[in-house]
Amino acid sequence: MFPDSSRPETDQDDQWKERIDALERGQTRLENTLRGLGRELDFSIGCLCPNCENSLMIRSNGEMYCPRCRNRTGL
């Protein structure tokens, strides 16, 4: 199943590190894009949704809501 499992462990570690680095870069790009979008469209990103924990809250017009589960709270 893992044909190159005989290779030194450090190679595997490097591969994981590269993958994690790529994921982190992708996440940072998304965060920057979202923040820029928020500035354009007058909303900002809040805390983690306490209801579903699957999305960050969107802050807009004096209230916060979760785009995932529609949880809505006043500020």
The footprint of Zn ion (CB under 5 A) covers 49, 51-52, 66, 68-69, 71
Specify the pairing of strand 44-48 against strand 56-60. Answer: antiparallel
Q: Which residue's CB is nearer to Zn ion, number 12 or number 54? A: 54
Distance from chain centroid for Cα 46: 13
Alpha-carbon gap, residue 43 to 61, rounded angstroms: 8
CB of 57 to Zn ion, least distance (A): 8
Q: Which residue's CB is nearer to Zn ion, number 17 or number 71? A: 71
CB of 75 to Zn ion, least distance (A): 16
